[in-house]
Amino acid sequence: MPSATSDTLPHPLDPLSTGEIESAIGIVKKAHGDVFFNVVSLHEPRKAEMTKWLEDTASAPRPQRIADIVVIAPGGKVYDGLVDLADGKITKWELLDGLQPIITMEELVAVEHICRKDPKVIEQCEINGIPKEDMHKVYCDPWTIGFDERHGSKIRLQQALMYYRPNVDDCQYQYPLDFCPIYDAEKETIVAIDIPKVRRPLSKAAPINYHPAGVESAGGYRNNIKPINITQPEGVSFTMSGREIEWQNWKFHIGFNYREGIVLNNITFNDKGTVRPIFYRLSLAEMVVPYGNPEHPHQRKHAFDLGEYGAGYMTNSLALGCDCKGSIHYLDAEFPTRAGSVRTIKNAICIHEEDSGILFKHTDFRDESMIVTRARKLVIQQIFTAANYEYSIQWIFHQDGTIQPEIKLTGILNTYAMGPDEDTQGWGTQVYPGVNAHNHQHLFCLRIDPNVDGPNNTVFMADTVPSDAPVGSPENYYGNAFYAKRTKLTTTGEAKTDYNGDTSRTWDICNTSRLHPYSKKPSSYKLVSREVPRLLPKEGSLVWKRAGFARHAVHVTKYDDDQLWPAGRHVPQTSGEPSLGLPEWIGNGQQSIDDTDVVLWHTFGVTHIPAPEDFPVMPVEPITLLLRPRNFFASNPVLDVPPSFCSTPSQVAANGKGVTEAADRMSRLAFGEEKANGSVNGIGNANGNGCCGADGVNGTNGTNGANGH
């Protein structure tokens, strides 16, 4: 039985352990006294050094363990630092000017308590119709202020989105309040309140709740869902060595950090004995959620959930049989607390296999000789909670070499108060009486650091288009000619490209020095992504300036160890002047990205015009894309997956003798003997006898019933 083991030494890409975090914190405190710790995280080994080590782990120098530190010292002074854990030395200590580091959970939860005690907030609550003795029923979702030109970025600020709960268990998002306090995280006080010109009173609507009491009062739970059991009595098909996983020819390292959450490194595929590199590093690197209501101060609602709060810091502790079913392996996460202790999030990552339907099938219509083979997928998942919203991030690996990042959106809409006779003017939807859910986008930026048969890759844009030759011309007489037009992206400027649904545009990450023996096309991985809305905030808008990565579906840059996060390293309260991250890295766009170590940044997502069906909690909405091998493998790489059933023409001619019959024996007929169309063959199948054979041959006789005539 495969088991999870781990070396004594951490893998150079393993997250910092509890001990390493503690020692880093100790070293910093010794040198700089009491400070607030925003970040104590692995400073990833430089790629050159790491690559050398991977090539020869035995004798190449093992990359040092270095902690990446961000602290806030008294007076709101922000420092970036590096601590060498082996030497116990601080190797970098830099005071930042006008930059605000990521917000910690502790900073967030503090706001609500301050708001409840603040006289001006209490006054506004009273204007909204909440008596001062009910302030314990007032809640707020604390967000970074984003950027507000009146306050700038020198003072560390949050905006408090205000709500009310008649009862502690009510869903607060159905009782939004119409004003917005601004909180100074250094002084721990409310420094201002944004109050709308037109006031909106607290909704008097009866609550709608998804908790048991709420459901019972609305008629109770449905009782007609029979259990589906998913079990792996012989164990799972993957093995773990520390944080390295091996499954169906795949091998990679599963990292995790405060910022991006799951990070996958050194992704290789064992191609008939040859271990071929595909990606050096994959992660969800940033996202932005711009809201579309122009009324002040809603323009500040455009959360960079990774850069401002952290997909790691906000990640859920997952539970067996709830978030996943089957046989699950979990990995925990360790983070610093603001005060300098260590917190553990148990089961931060879940890893499991799923049956994935048919992998391939073919039947020969002549004799119904056929093959059917079932597919399996591996899912690496985390789920994080960003105030109201939940994001499930799944990294799905398929046997055929495809990698499928999938994001599932659920949780609760961000909502704002709405007057009884108010018109949303199209900027939102009244999803419940007095509840205005504003239009918004979820734009995710995937950082793809390719290593397709080696570090030097080139990106092409591929568009399927008709031949230029007109109908009736000798080259295209019948007008049916079409092909894939491939455009090489040679500079970072050229590589700023948008989606084109009309041509089913894709992007090919190619190794141009490795041509396929048959197709003569370069070995490649193709980015196939179909949910790619444009950034709807206009050019020159606040969001456009701050979220440079979202201006195009694809950017490509030359690899740089320090370019991990496309909206910049420190995102809160950036003005977008200049735009940090991708725009500054790309600059005039002259840098060559032809046949070199490149990084592809892909922005995709959804535009969400809310509807009442999304309230009070939103059924999962999935977004997905594919990274597919094209001209990478010699042929279909899954021919060696054992089929459920296979019969050849010669076996069919021999009345099915010698067919491969490995149908799943656990499957049953839904209604057993009572099956409306019950038949001996049908029942037979339940016992695994005959499978496609028996039915297939019947089918044959049927299908070709008149062959003889």
Is 305 marked active-site?
Answer: yes
198 binds its own copies (CB under 8 A): no
245 binds its own copies (CB under 8 A): no
CB atoms within 10 A of CB 410: 16
**What DSSP designation does 427 have?**
S
**3-class secondary-structure state, position 609:** coil
- Among positions 56, 133, 234, 421, the unique one binding its own copies when judged by CB under 8 A: 234
177 binds its own copies (CB under 8 A): no
Compute the distance between CA of residue 403 and CA of residue 627 in angstroms, rounded to an integer.
5
With CB under 8 A as the rule, give the number of residues binding its own copies.
Answer: 242
671 binds its own copies (CB under 8 A): yes
Compute the distance between CA of residue 344 and CA of residue 107 in angstroms, rounded to an integer.
18
Tokens 């006898």, residue located: 689
* Residue 49 in tokens: 């050094």
- Among positions 15, 255, 277, 537, the unique one binding its own copies when judged by CB under 8 A: 537
Nearer Cβ to its own copies (293/458): 293
CB of residue 397 to its own copies, shortest distance in Å: 13
C-alpha gyration radius of the chain: 29
Site for its own copies in 317-346 (CB under 8 A): 317-332, 337-339, 341, 343-346
* The one catalytic residue among 305, 449, 508, 695: 305
196 binds its own copies (CB under 8 A): no
Nearer Cβ to its own copies (86/670): 670
Site for its own copies in 579-638 (CB under 8 A): 606-607, 609, 611-620, 628-638
* Residue 1 in tokens: 């039985």
Helix (H) or strand (E) holding 555: strand 554-558
Name the segment binding its own copies (CB under 8 A); options: 68-76, 84-92, 296-304, 450-458: 296-304
* Residue 100 in tokens: 């605000």
**What DSSP designation does 703 have?**
H
Site for its own copies in 465-484 (CB under 8 A): 465-467, 469-471, 475-484
Nearer Cβ to its own copies (51/241): 241
17 binds its own copies (CB under 8 A): no
33 binds its own copies (CB under 8 A): no
Q: Is 63 exposed, middle or buried (0-12, 13-18, 19+ CB in 10 A)?
A: middle
* Residue 286 in tokens: 């940033």
Q: What is the DSSP string of 558-585?
A: E--TT---TT-S--TT---SSPPSHHHH
80 binds its own copies (CB under 8 A): no
Name the segment binding its own copies (CB under 8 A); options: 58-66, 529-537, 572-580, 595-603: 529-537
Site for its own copies in 129-168 (CB under 8 A): 139, 168
* The one catalytic residue among 280, 313, 389, 416: 389
Site for its own copies in 274-293 (CB under 8 A): 290-293
Nearer Cβ to its own copies (90/527): 527
* Residue 555 in tokens: 């950017």
Say if CB 696 and CB 370 are below 8 A apart.
Answer: yes
**3-class secondary-structure state, position 503:** helix
Cis peptide, bond prior to residue 201, ω within 30 of zero: no
Nearest to 282 by CA among 258, 253, 304, 305: 253
Question: For residue 448, what are the β-bridge partners?
Answer: 282, 600
- Among positions 61, 540, 562, 655, the unique one binding its own copies when judged by CB under 8 A: 540
Site for its own copies in 84-123 (CB under 8 A): 105-106, 108-109, 112
**What DSSP designation does 291 have?**
B
Compute the distance between CA of residue 50 and CA of residue 246 in angstroms, rounded to an integer.
20
- Among positions 67, 70, 85, 236, the unique one binding its own copies when judged by CB under 8 A: 236
Site for its own copies in 549-588 (CB under 8 A): none
Residues with catalytic roles:
305, 389
